[in-house]
């Protein structure tokens, strides 16, 4: 990023933040419309967040809680991290609408982009999509980058990793999605989604090409979700979802391709998810799953293809989380997650099992400012090596706008 671009982005971010602080929605004429025509509404949202975390053993990514690194010569190696990189800025777009066609969109960024430094990080695009919806028919189309279509529930955690590699599958990726709402009875409906999504792989063969792109076609993601009120007014959700795609590996010598498309590695998952409100202020959510070659979906503890054995790594896992709003200001959560790769797909030294017990508390100091604390006990097991445990203590201050 050159200095001029950085300055322009800084000015734009400052302007949007000022609009948000003033609580203003900006309405402008739609492209090609006169001042009396349809309006495009822009609404800014986001938060400023400081995270500080202490770990009793070194972990893989510092700020983010993925897995614990092995002890060296049996000795522990503690660490302390502090960052404001999760600070988030978003823009919601609404309209212009034309008859029965409703148009909305969203752009969202944070500061976890590649490069930069801990006190001068780079921007990262999280979400960027448009929606075209026809409410009368219950059909909607989404195009852009969004959370994986197979995700029904997202864990509530202070740490940005949201139980990734710890039992929760999925992240965000470019996709084209079609959604159909099917009313069944009263407040009960079935929501069916299908998407063509980019297969993000690795460069296993060293041929300077993403192996997911080398497959020549996108992955398919799906989600069939039943929504119905059960124990509380808020609807419960029960879904079956998953994905299927392919990564293609070339034959290379010294990073030069000598034969194209010599081996395929499937990537797939089948997921069962639940969101169950037990009371107005208490809910239970979670997921169970099984699949193969899931590293870029945060399954298999970040392991997708075993290059030594030349096979995809199968895995299974899941998580369960209790979410409680004890008062209007106090929220408490308790989670357990597990990710268990298939031992026969692993080589010595590979990560063989991950388990985490996590609890968090959020307290609203004001309507905009929240203090949070999270404790996690995480254990990463290794094939033919000793397991590595970690105690994670993390605090955060959050200012939402």
Supply the CATH number for residue 280's domain: 2.40.160
Q: What is the pLDDT of residue 5?
A: 45
Asked if residue 15 is part of any domain, the answer here is no
Spatial CB neighbours of 26, under 8 Å, sequence gap ≥ 6: 19, 41, 42, 43
Query: Residue 184: which of 138, 241, 240, 232 has the closest Cα?
Result: 138
Q: Are 13 and 89 in contact (CB under 8 A)?
A: yes
- The three-point CA angle 346-347-348 to 5° equals 125
Q: What is the pLDDT of residue 261?
A: 73
Asked if residue 1 is part of any domain, the answer here is no
Domain of 260 in residue numbering reads as 47-77+147-400
In sequence order, the β-bridge partners of residue 320 are: 286, 336
Asked if residue 384 is part of any domain, the answer here is yes
Asked if residue 225 is part of any domain, the answer here is yes
Asked if residue 11 is part of any domain, the answer here is no
Asked if residue 291 is part of any domain, the answer here is yes
Asked if residue 121 is part of any domain, the answer here is no
Asked if residue 109 is part of any domain, the answer here is no
Tokens describing residue 220: 């398919």
Count of structural domains, the chain: 1
What are the pLDDT tens digits along the chain (401 aa)? 455 444 445 555 555 555 544 455 777 666 665 555 567 899 999 999 999 999 999 999 889 999 999 999 888 899 999 999 999 999 999 988 888 899 999 999 999 999 888 899 999 999 999 999 999 999 999 999 999 999 999 999 999 999 999 999 999 999 999 999 999 998 999 999 999 999 998 888 888 888 899 899 999 999 999 999 999 989 999 999 999 999 998 887 776 776 777 789 999 999 999 999 999 999 999 999 999 999 999 999 999 999 999 999 999 999 999 999 999 999 999 999 999 999 999 999 999 999 999 999 999 999 999 999 999 999 999 999 999 999 999 999 999 99
């Amino acid at each position: 990023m050159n200095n001029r671009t950085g300055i322009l982005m800084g000015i734009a971010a400052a302007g949007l933040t000022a609009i948000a602080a003033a609580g203003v929605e900006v309405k402008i004429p739609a492209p090609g419309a006169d001042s009396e025509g349809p309006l495009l509404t822009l609404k800014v949202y986001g938060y400023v967040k400081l995270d500080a975390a202490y770990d009793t053993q070194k972990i893989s990514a510092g700020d983010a809680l993925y897995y614990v690194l092995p002890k060296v010569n049996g000795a522990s190696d503690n660490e302390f991290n502090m960052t404001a990189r999760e600070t988030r800025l978003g823009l919601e777009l609404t309209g212009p609408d034309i008859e029965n066609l409703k148009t909305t969109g969203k752009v969202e960024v944070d500061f976890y982009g590649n490069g930069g430094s801990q006190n001068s990080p780079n921007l990262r695009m999280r979400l960027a999509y448009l929606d075209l919806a026809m409410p009368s028919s219950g059909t909607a189309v989404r195009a852009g980058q969004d959370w994986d279509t197979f995700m029904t529930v997202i864990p509530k955690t202070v740490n940005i990793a949201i139980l990734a590699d710890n039992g929760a599958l999925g992240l965000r990726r470019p996709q084209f999605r079609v959604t159909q709402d099917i009313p069944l009875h009263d407040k009960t409906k079935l929501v069916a989604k299908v998407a063509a999504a980019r297969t993000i792989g690795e460069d296993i063969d060293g041929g300077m090409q993403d192996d997911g792109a080398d497959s020549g076609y996108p992955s398919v993601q799906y989600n069939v979700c039943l929504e119905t009120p059960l124990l509380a007014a808020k609807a419960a959700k029960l879904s079956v979802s998953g994905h299927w795609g392919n990564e293609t590996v070339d034959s290379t010598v010294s990073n030069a391709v000598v034969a194209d498309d010599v081996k395929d590695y499937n990537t797939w998952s089948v997921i069962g998810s639940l969101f169950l409100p037990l009371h107005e202020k208490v809910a239970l959510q979670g997921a169970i799953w099984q699949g193969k070659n899931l590293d870029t979906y945060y399954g298999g503890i970040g392991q997708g293809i075993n290059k030594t054995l030349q096979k995809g790594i199968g895995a299974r896992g899941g998580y369960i989380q209790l979410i409680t709003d004890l008062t209007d200001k106090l929220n408490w959560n308790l989670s357990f997650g597990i990710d268990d790769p298939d031992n026969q797909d692993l080589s010595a030294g590979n990560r063989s099992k991950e388990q985490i017990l996590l609890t968090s508390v959020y307290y609203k100091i004001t309507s905009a400012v929240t203090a949070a604390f999270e404790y996690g006990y995480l254990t990463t097991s290794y094939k033919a090596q000793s397991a590595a445990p970690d105690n994670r203590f993390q605090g955060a201050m959050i200012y939402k706008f």
